[in-house]
Amino acid sequence: MRLLAQHPDDGVTARRLASTLHLPARTACALVDGLRAEGLVRQDPGTDVLRPAGPLVPSAAPPDVNLLRSSAMNWADRLAAHSGLSVLLAVAHPDGVRIVHHVFRPDNSPQHLLTGETRPAGCALARALAGPHDGRCVYTPEADAGTGSLAVAVDCPGPVPYAAALALVGPRPALDPSAGGNGRYEELLRAAADALATDSALTPSR
């Protein structure tokens, strides 16, 4: 959206968007589809040029990460316990997303804390934030061989609404929808996201 804001009149082609943001063409197209579905951009059918759908306003204030993390702890812990996988919670960041909470998978294997790290725009967490917030889950493979992420957007209520993204990270065969066995994990992920979104602690006092 910042790139489009720099070219409000002449617009930006999808190819230029992918090149400038160093994204694969398919990832850029998926992000554009999500922005169009949200009514944030319009695309000229003849030239494929993208432009803001309306006047761009300053972004909402960033969420209170400490409040978000404290509200998410119980739900994220339960999600990790029920799924047997690690859990990530992230918010939007100029480079993609920033991980604000990480629950280790409940086993004794060595694990590295990811809280505070950023992930690029093509990751599952960022794609979930960029796409329609309708409960659909987004899967992408991780850099580690054999590992993938399944993420869903979480709309957080409040006077200034904002969104976060919740993800499960684990073996690709378990999470990859093409493998046909991730239905249980999608249900667990959606249930945790719904619980987090309706948590009264996420609604700041007026």
Q: What is the pLDDT of residue 60?
A: 44
For residue 137, give the H/E element and its range.
none
As for how many domains the chain has, the answer is 2
75, part of any domain: yes
Indicate whether 37 and 75 sit together in one domain: no
85 shares its domain with 177: yes
Q: What is the pTM of this model?
A: 0.68
What is the three-state SS of 120-178?
A: CCCCHHHHHHHCCCCCCCEEEECCCCCEEEEEEEEEECCCCCEEEEEEEEEEHHHHCHH
Whether residues 46 and 74 share a domain: the answer is no
**Residue carrying the six token digits 């580690």:** 144
pLDDT in tens, 25-80: 777 777 777 777 666 778 887 777 888 765 544 444 455 677 788 888 889 999 99
Residue 192, number of CB atoms within 10 A of its CB: 26
> What distance in Å separates the CA atoms of residue 87 and residue 203, rounded to the nearest whole number?
23
89 and 169 share one domain: yes
Range of the domain at 45: 2-52
pLDDT tens sequence across 91-140: 988 888 999 999 999 988 889 999 999 999 889 999 999 888 889 999 99
Instruction: Note whether 92 and 157 are same-domain residues.
Output: yes
Say which CATH number the domain at 31 has. 1.10.10
Q: Is residue 57 in a domain?
A: no
